[in-house]
Amino acid sequence: MAPSDLNNLHDIHQPVAISHWPLAPGWWFLIAVGLSVALITALRWHRRWKRTAYRRAALAELRSATSTAEVAEIMKRTALAGFGRAEVASLTGHDWIQWLRRSTDLELEQQVADDLSLAIYRSPQPPQPPQEALLRFAGAWIETHRDTTSPQQADSC
């Protein structure tokens, strides 16, 4: 190779850098799917959060309950909010306890059942403080109760 040939060589030209914009159609599709999934998830979470607001309110009231009658009242109001008046309002005594048993997998001790069924009929003076077993059952029931009519809905909550 002659020395003059080396003088005629030029630098290698780099190709133009590939632009990241505009995006390829596949990326637009992936972004649309991702946003759709995020939106659907957020809407479902929000609906569930609104649907269970009565549970959160009942648990807050339960923490400040000072009597067995108050715990029984909170549970009845929670049942009314969750299941409606047609199903719950007429339940008292043994029927109320049976309904509570059907609406949860929790074990309802006989003493707790007796306290719940009789608490609202006892004399309010002096108020009887709630037993720990009653508070535990009430809190667990509020968190975990399910529809007593359709087993499929119990799995979705």
- Relative orientation angle of helices 110-118 and 132-144, to the nearest 10 degrees: 80
Long-range CB contact pairs, 37-40, < 8 A, 24+: none
Would you say 145 and 104 are in contact if contact means Cβ atoms under 8 Å apart?
Answer: yes
Residue-wise pLDDT tens for the chain (157 aa)?
A: 566 777 888 888 888 888 888 889 999 999 999 999 999 999 999 999 999 999 999 999 999 998 888 999 999 999 999 999 999 999 988 999 999 999 999 998 999 998 888 877 776 667 677 889 999 999 999 999 987 654 444 444 4
Q: Identify the CA nearest to 80 among candidates 64, 62, 58, 102.
A: 58
Would you say 113 and 71 are in contact if contact means Cβ atoms under 8 Å apart?
Answer: no
What's the one-letter identity of residue 80? L
pLDDT of residue 85: 92
Rg of the chain taking only CA atoms, in angstroms: 32
pLDDT of residue 156: 44
110-142 burial, b if ≥16 CB within 10 A, otherwise e? Answer: eebbebbbebeeeeeeeeeebeeebbebbeebb
Would you say 83 and 148 are in contact if contact means Cβ atoms under 8 Å apart?
Answer: yes
Domain map (residue ranges) of the chain: 53-156
11: left (phi over 0), alpha (psi -120 to 50) or beta: beta
